[in-house]
């Protein structure tokens, strides 16, 4: 092999190694693809949808996050309350900091519940304040979701990231708002 070919091969190997290192670092600290398991976020997400999470994100009300449970499972849920928020539920209406909130992402599930003879998706609960360093999360499929109503608050160190993009199914590819 000619000396020039060896140098070119080494140069390409350095480029590939550098690229692999950048990809690994980005995946470790910035982005991560995640597959949705279960039906707790239907109809927003279906079983086996693939999403991209951003690990460096300021979490706000109604963001969708992925977090680790105490049993070391990844859950995907919608953030309803951030630290300091006052939350209650009355007659299937979320009250956030004293103001009723229209949860438009629940309309499809509300219609399905009515068709099945159910009056509401979410049982009433009295007002509480989300403590510092914690978040109150609910699944969009309120009738079939293990969320903060059962597992309690999600601590900030358990949050892996915020869902920003749907990757699959490809026909639904796009940003999550």
Return per-residue pLDDT of the chain as tens, 177 residues. 678 888 888 889 888 888 888 877 767 767 889 999 999 999 999 999 999 999 988 999 999 999 999 888 899 999 999 999 999 999 999 999 999 999 999 999 988 888 888 888 899 999 999 999 999 999 999 999 999 999 999 999 999 999 999 999 989 888 887
**In degrees to the nearest 10, what's the CA dihedral of 81, 86, 87, 91?**
-150
- Name the token pair of 86: 């006052």
Looking at CATH, the fold of the domain delimited by 3-169 is given as Umud Fragment, subunit A (2.10.109)
Query: Where exactly are the structural domains of the chain?
Result: 3-169
- Would you call 14 a catalytic residue per the annotation? no
Predicted TM-score of the model (pTM):
0.85
Q: How far apart are CA 124 and CA 121, in angstroms?
A: 10
Q: Which member of 57, 77, 88, 164 is catalytic?
A: 77
- Would you call 77 a catalytic residue per the annotation? yes
Q: Which member of 40, 55, 145, 148 is catalytic?
A: 40
């Amino acid at each position: 092999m000619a000396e020039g070919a060896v140098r070119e091969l080494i140069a390409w190997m350095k480029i590939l190694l550098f690229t692999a290192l950048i990809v690994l670092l980005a995946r470790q600290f910035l982005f991560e693809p995640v597959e949705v398991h279960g039906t707790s976020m239907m109809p927003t997400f279906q079983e086996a949808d693939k999403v991209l999470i951003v690990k460096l994100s300021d979490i706000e009300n109604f963001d969708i996050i992925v977090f680790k449970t105490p049993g070391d499972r990844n859950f995907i849920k919608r953030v309803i309350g951030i630290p300091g928020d006052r939350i209650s539920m009355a007659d299937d209406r979320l009250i956030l900091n004293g103001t009723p909130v229209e949860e438009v992402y629940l309309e499809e599930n509300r219609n399905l519940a009515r068709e099945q003879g159910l009056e509401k998706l979410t049982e009433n609960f009295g007002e509480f304040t989300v403590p510092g360093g914690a978040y109150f999360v609910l699944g969009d499929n309120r009738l079939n979701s293990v969320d903060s109503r059962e597992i309690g608050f999600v601590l900030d160190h358990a949050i892996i990231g915020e869902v920003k993009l749907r990757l699959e199914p490809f026909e639904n590819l796009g940003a999550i708002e």
